[in-house]
Chains A and B, each alone.
Chain A
Amino acid sequence: MIEVNNLVKNYGKYEAVKNISFKVEDGEVLGFLGPNGAGKSTTMNIITGYISATSGEVKIGGYDILKNPSEAKKRIGYLPEIPPVYIDMTVTEYLTFVADLKGVKKAEVKAMLADIMEKIKITHVAGKLIKNLSKGYRQRVGLAQAMVGYPDVLILDEPTVGLDPKQIIEIRDVIHELGKTHTVILSSHILSEISAVCNRVMIINKGQIVASDTPDGLSAKLSQNRYRVRFKGDEKAVLEAFKAKDEVTFVQLDISDEEGTCDILIEGTEGTDIREIAFEVAVKNNFVLLLMKSEKMSLEDVFLQVTENEPVADEKLEAEADENAEEAPKEAEE
Chain B
Amino acid sequence: MKAIYKREMKMYFNSMTGYVFIAFFVLITAIYFSMTNILAMSPEFEYVFSSVIMMFLILGPMLTMRLLTEETRHKTDQLLLTAPVSISGIVLGKYLAAVTVFMIALLITAIFPVILSVYGTIATAQIIGSYLGFFLLGSSFIAIGLWISSLTDNQIVAAVGTFVAIFLLLMVENIISSASGSEAFSLLFAVILAGLIALYFYNNTKSKAYSAGVFGILAVVIAVAYVVKPVIFNGFAGKVASMFAVLTRYNYFAMGILDLSALVYLVSFIAVFLYFTVRVIEKKRWS
A contacts, CB < 8 Å to B:
11, 45, 48-52, 69-71, 73-74, 76, 78, 80, 82, 84-88, 93, 97-98, 100-103, 145
Contacts and interface: CB of A to CB of B under 8 A. Distances in A.
Given A85-B76, A101-B4, A78 B82 contact: yes
B119 interface: no
Contacts of B31: none
Given A50-B285, A88-B15, A97-B7, A73 B75 contact: no
B2 interface: yes
A264 B165 CA distance: 73
Task: Kindly state the interface size class of chain B when it binds its partner.
Answer: 20 to 34
> Is chain B's interface secondary structure helix, strand, loop, or mixed overall?
helix
B6 A100 contact: yes
Contacts of B74: 84-87
5 contacts: A49-B82, A50-B81, A76-B82, A85-B76, A88-B11
A103 B11 CA distance: 20
A51 B284 CA distance: 8
Nearest to A100: B3
B196 interface: no
Interface in B1-26: 2-4, 6-7, 10-11, 14-15
Contact of B83 (A52, A71, A73): A73
A329 to B, nearest CB: 10
B78 A50 contact: yes
Contacts, number: 66
Nearest to A102: B83
Contacts of A103: 84
A-B residue pairs, 5 tightest by C-beta: A100-B3, A84-B79, A73-B84, A70-B84, A48-B82
B3 A69 contact: no
A103 B80 CA distance: 13
B156 to A, nearest CB: 19
B86 interface: yes
B76 A101 contact: no
Contact of B81 (A49, A93, A100): A49
B85 interface: yes
Most central of B11, B14, B78, B79 by chain A CB within 10 Å: B79
Contacts of A100: 2-3, 6
A110 to B, nearest CB: 16
Contacts of B2: 100
Contacts of A78: 78-79, 82
Contacts of B7: 86, 97
Nearest to A75: B84
Contacts of A73: 82-84
B286 A52 contact: yes
A256 B200 CA distance: 66
Instruction: Kindly name the residue among A71, A80, A101 whose own CB sees the greatest number of chain B CB atoms within 10 A.
Output: A101
Nearest to B93: A101
Given A84-B75, A88-B11, A88-B14, A70 B3 contact: no
Contacts of A70: 84-86
Contacts of A80: 75, 78-79
Nearest to A145: B79
B84 A97 contact: no
A300 B78 CA distance: 31
Contact of A101 (B80, B285, B287): B80
Nearest to A157: B78
Given A52-B285, A84-B75, A88-B15, A97 B82 contact: no
A86 B15 CA distance: 13
Q: Which of B11, B80, B82, B86 has the most CB of A within 10 A?
A: B82
Contacts of B14: 88
Nearest to B2: A100
A59 to B, nearest CB: 16
B4 A82 contact: no
Contacts of B85: 70, 101
